[in-house]
Amino acid sequence: MAGGGESKHVGSWLPSSGSVKGERQHAARGVGAPGMHRELALAPPAAMQSRCALGARRAHCAARLCAERALHGREGAPGQPAVAAASSEALLRRLVAGGASVVPGFLSEEEEALLAREVEAPLRRGRYQDAHWDGVIHRYRETERSHWSKECQEILQRVRDTAFPPGVPQLAQVHVLDLDKTGYIKPHIDSVKFCGCTIAGLSLLSSSVMRLVSEQNGHDWLDLLLERRSLYILRGPARYEFTHEILKDEESFFGGRKIPRERRISVICRNLPLPSTPP
């Protein structure tokens, strides 16, 4: 796979136009009772946009440092591997600086093991499903948890402190998604009815590639390298104006390098939907 907007590479990076448009018909992934209809939300209310912008400005400095690392790594700074690549330099700077962040090495090996052990039992009670009810996720198991051990609560609080601005109400339920090695997530936008302006996820057990594609122009894309034990954060334009997906193992490349997919568990925190009018 390629980055930096070199036109000779763009074709191999992009999904087919039919794939991008077709996925707009899928209900968006949110938090709610299975079977509940969730519309694909292309834009948040104006009040939500302003509050999300405020949240982005107040976000923890780790996300800003990550943005610099993504840009510098792409330009080949020694010891700074890239974590983001895009169809153009302008898009890369816009999304990484203001909407999409990856914090490599957010978890230690011990912290990853703690989280994985805690979610393993509830996940193993179910079988891998071939297709989610909304058609977005394939070969998966999932659960939601609001009660965690003290050690895991401390880890999740660190996620919240990094990703969410102070005072923004957050969903108590943490979404745990288990993808089989052959599993993947199709392009979608999480509904504003069930999820607020920020999505933050930890990657356990495996690295993967997350691809964002503009709803308005399928030639605008951003790839994020989600290394094992990293934290990703989506907000602003990356949250509302771009679909996001986890690539299949056979499509999992970043910067021309194969990123092998194994079983992957993601632990995802979200904030509550914000009111459409100021309080």
For the chain, domain boundaries: 7-31+38-270
- 252-256 long-range contacts (CB < 8 A, ≥24 apart) are 252/208, 252/209, 253/1, 253/209, 254/1, 254/85, 254/209, 254/223, 254/225, 255/1, 255/2, 255/3, 255/82, 255/85, 255/225, 256/1, 256/2
* Tokens read off for 202: 């930890």
Number of H helices, E strands in the chain: 8, 12
Compute the C-alpha angle 197/201/206, nearest 5°: 155
CA distance 99 to 224: 12
DSSP 186: E
What is the assigned CATH class of domain 7-31+38-270?
A: mainly beta
C-alpha 222/C-alpha 109 separation (Å) is 28
**For the packed helices 61-74 and 150-163, what is the interaxial angle rounded to 10 degrees?**
70
pLDDT digits 0-9 by tens, 147-185: 999 999 999 999 999 999 888 899 999 999 999 999 999
* Lookup result for tokens 């930096």: 4
Could you tell me which residues come within 8 angstroms of residue 184 by beta carbon, excluding any fewer than 6 positions away?
137, 138, 139, 245, 246, 247, 248, 249
pLDDT at 86: 95
- pLDDT tens over the chain, length 279 residues: 433 333 323 322 222 233 333 333 333 333 333 332 233 333 444 544 455 545 444 444 445 555 545 554 544 444 557 899 999 999 999 998 778 999 999 999 999 999 999 999 999 999 999 876 667 999 999 999 999 999 999 999 999 999 998 888 999 999 999 999 999 999 999 888 888 889 999 999 999 999 999 999 999 999 999 999 999 999 989 999 999 999 999 999 999 999 999 999 999 999 998 776 444
Cα 81 from Cα 40, distance rounded (Å): 34
